[in-house]
Amino acid sequence: MKIYDLTLPITPSLIVWPGDPPVRITREADVNAGDEFSLSRLEMSAHTGTHVDAPAHFISGGGGVETLPLDVLIGPALVVELLERKLNSTKILWPLRPVERSGWWTTASGSSAWITCL
């Protein structure tokens, strides 16, 4: 089985949820500057970038991410690049592949749009 990593890279330019703090990456130490080691500080919201929401995020008394079996995080995926198209509706995606029990959200940021599927 071939495995593809669908996660977004964490960079200061990563789009965050409205109201969340931006990603900050600060170099604390650098071997190239004479330090004994290199060290970076990473500051971001838990809901930044590609992530998994625990049942507790939506359900009172729900479990944390540690309660999710890993096999629910691995499976078939469909990636559709829509960089040149203004996405006003998720209707464009429905003919591409049947989706059952999924939630769809669209978020516009600048000239690009992206979809998150649960």
Mean pLDDT split into 10-residue runs, the chain, 118 residues: 82 89 97 98 91 86 91 76 62 55 42 42
CA dist list (Å): 34 to 16, 25, 30, 41, 110: 34, 20, 7, 18, 40
Choose among 15, 5, 40, 8: nearest CA to 111: 15
**Which member of 24, 47, 51, 57 is catalytic?**
57
Per the CB < 8 A criterion, the answer to whether 94 and 78 are in contact is: no
Instruction: Note if 57 is an active site residue.
Output: yes
pLDDT at 31 (0 to 100): 98
Alpha helices in the chain (DSSP H): none
pLDDT at 96 (0 to 100): 59
